[in-house]
Chains A and B, each alone.
Chain A
C-alpha cells in the first residue's frame, strides 16, 4: 500500500512527466491554449499510457529480456505503441463515437508522444513489477492531465495581459512553464517526509 501511494504521489507531483522529467513538452505547449482541448489531450495521454504499459511491459519482461534482446526495446515499443493507438482509434470510431469525437485529433497525435514512450521505458530503469508499472502509468497520465489543466489556466491569464513585444507568444509561455516547473519542485519535500 505504501509503495502504491508513493508511486501515485511521485507520478502526480514529484516526478511529474512534464514538469520534472520534461517529457511530452510539445503537446504541453501546443494544446494548452484552451481548457477543453487541454483536458482532451490530457485524458487521451493518460488512457494511452495505461494501455501501452499493459502491452509493452509483458513483451519486454517476458519476451525480450529472457532472450537477451533488451536492445530491441526502443524500436519494438515504437511499433507496438503506434499500432495500439491506431487500433484504439479504429475501435473507438466504430463502437464509441462520442468518445472518439471527444478525443478527436489528439489520439493520433499520441503515436509519437515521448511521454508515452518515456513511461513505458522508465518502468524498467526503476525496476517496478507489472502491477506497480500499471499504477505508475496511471499516475503519470493523471499527472500529465493535471499539468495540462493548470497550465491552460495560466495561459488564459497570459492572454489578456500587456506583455512586452519581445516576450509575446511562445517566450512568455516558456517562462511561465519554467516557473510552474520550479514550483512543482516544492513537492519533493512532501514525498520525502510522507513515510519518515
Chain B
C-alpha cells in the first residue's frame, strides 16, 4: 500500500528535481553577460518599436548601438534628446541633426484637379492604384484614401479636401508613410527653413496644365530665380536640393502655378 503512493511520488519528484537542478546549473553555467549599455540605451529610447531606424524594434536598435553597428543619430522619433542621452551612454560626441519631416508632394485636392473615373471599390490607396493607377486624373497624384494616415502612429497626417497633408510639428520622421504610399508622393525633407515642390508629376507641362491647376509645368522660372542654384529640372518637374536651399522664398514668389511653398507653411 505504501509503495503504490511512494513510487510515483518519488519518480515524479525525482525527475522534477533533476530537471530543476539541470535548469538551475545551466542558467548559471551558460549565463550570457548582459551589456549594461544595452539596458541603458533601451531605457533612453522612445520604446515605440516603429522600426524607423531599420532595426527590428527598439531592442534591436539598442543592441546595434551598443555593438557600434548603428549610429546614435539613427532614431528619428527620438530627436535630439535621444541623441544626447545615447552620446552620454556611449561616449560619442553628438552631432547636430536636422529634424526631418514627411512631405506630400501633391496638392491635387478637389478644387485643383478632377477624377477620371467614378471609383467605388475598396477605400485603399494600394488597391485603387492597381486599377488603372487610381481614380485621380493625374497619374502621379495623391489618391486620397489615406493609406499614409493609417500607417502614421503619431497622427501627423490629415486629409484636406481629398489630398493628404503632413503637419511638420507632429511628424517625427519615421518614414512609415513613405514606405506605404503606392504613388510615391511622400518624401522626406528638413522640417523647417526650406521650400518644397508640392507636385510629383512627370508629365509634360501642357498635359499637367489640362489635368491640374497647381501642378509643376516645368517652366524653369524657379530655377532662374534661385540665388543658390538649389533647384534643377528632373523628369519635367522642379526638384529642390535641401542642402543648398536657404529658405529665401524667391522661387515661391516666381512660381506661376503656386506649386512651391515653405515646408512649414
Interface residues of A (CB under 8 A from B): 59, 63-64, 67, 69, 72, 75-76, 79-80, 83, 86-87, 90-91, 93-95, 160, 162
Question: Quick one: which of A67, A80, A93, A160 contacts B32, CB cutoff 8 A?
Answer: A93
**A67 with B16, Cβ < 8 A, contacts A90-B30, A95-B30, A162-B122 known:** no
* Known A59-B15, A76-B11, A90-B27; 4 more pairs at CB < 8 Å: A69-B8, A72-B12, A87-B23, A90-B30
The verdict on A67 contacting B122 (CB below 8 Å), with A90-B30, A94-B30 known, is no
Find out whether the CB atom of B121 lies under 8 angstroms from the CB atom of A162: yes
Point out the residues of chain A lying under 8 angstroms from B19, CB to CB. Answer: 79-80, 83
Whether the pair A160, B23 counts as a contact (CB closer than 8 A) is: no
B20: Cβ under 8 A from any A Cβ: yes
Chain A residues within an 8 Å CB radius of B7: 67, 69
22 interchain pairs, CB-CB under 8 A: A63-B11, A64-B11, A69-B7, A69-B11, A72-B11, A72-B12, A76-B11, A76-B15, A79-B19, A80-B15, A80-B19, A83-B22, A83-B23, A86-B23, A87-B23, A90-B26, A90-B30, A93-B30, A94-B30, A94-B32, A162-B122, A162-B127
Contacts of B32 in A (CB 8 A): 93-94
Chain B residues near A76 (CB, 8 Å)?
11-12, 15
Interchain CB contact under 8 A, B12 and A75: yes
CA distance A63 to B18 in the complex (A): 15
Q: Flag if A83 contacts B12 (CB, 8 Å).
A: no
Asked if A87 meets B22 with Cβ closer than 8 Å, knowing A94-B30, A95-B30, A160-B127, the reply is yes
- Which residues from chain A contact B121 at a C-beta distance below 8 Å? 162
Minimal Cβ-Cβ distance residue in A for B18: A83
Q: Once bound together, how far apart are the Cα atoms of A91 and B32, in whole Å? A: 10
> Closest CB of chain A to B17's CB: distance in Å?
10
Residues of B within 8 A of A72 (CB): 8, 11-12
Total chain B interface residues with beta-carbon distance under 8 A: 19
CB distance from B83 to the nearest CB of A (A): 27
Give min CB distance, B40 to chain A, whole Å.
21
A143, B241: Cα distance in complex, Å: 55
Closest to A72 in B: B8
Contact A87 B26 (CB under 8 A): yes
In the bound assembly, the distance between CA atoms of A160 and B12 in angstroms comes to: 52
Write out the residue numbers on chain A whose beta carbons fall within 8 Å of the beta carbon of B20. 83
Residues of chain B with a CB closer than 8 A to A67's CB: 7, 11
Measured in the bound complex, the distance between the Cα atoms of B122 and A162 in whole Å is 7
Q: How far is the CB of B219 from chain A (nearest CB, A)?
A: 40
Docked pose: A76 CA to B30 CA in angstroms: 26
Chain B residues with Cβ under 8 A from A94's Cβ?
Answer: 30-32
Q: How far is the CA of A86 from the CA of B32 in the complex (A)?
A: 15
Q: How far is the CB of B95 from chain A (nearest CB, A)?
A: 30
Interface residues of B in 1-21 (CB under 8 A from A): 7-8, 11-12, 15-16, 19-20
CB distance from A65 to the nearest CB of B (A): 12
Within 117-174 of B, Cβ neighbours of A (below 8 Å) are at 121-122, 126-127
A79-B26 Cα distance, complex, nearest whole Å: 17
Q: Which chain B residues border A83 with CB–CB below 8 Å? A: 19-20, 22-23
Within 8 Å CB of A64, what residues of B? 11
CB proximity to A under 8 Å, residues B214-261? none
Q: In the complex, A80 Cα to B23 Cα: how many Å?
A: 11
User: Inside 8 A of A91's CB, which chain B residues have their CB?
Assistant: 26, 30
Rounded to whole Å, the gap between the CB of B10 and the closest CB of chain A is 10
Q: Collect the chain B residues with CB atoms within 8 Å of residue A162's CB.
A: 121-122, 127
CB distance from A144 to the nearest CB of B (A): 25
Report, nearest first, the 5 A-B pairs whose CB atoms are least far apart. A83-B19, A94-B30, A90-B26, A162-B122, A90-B30
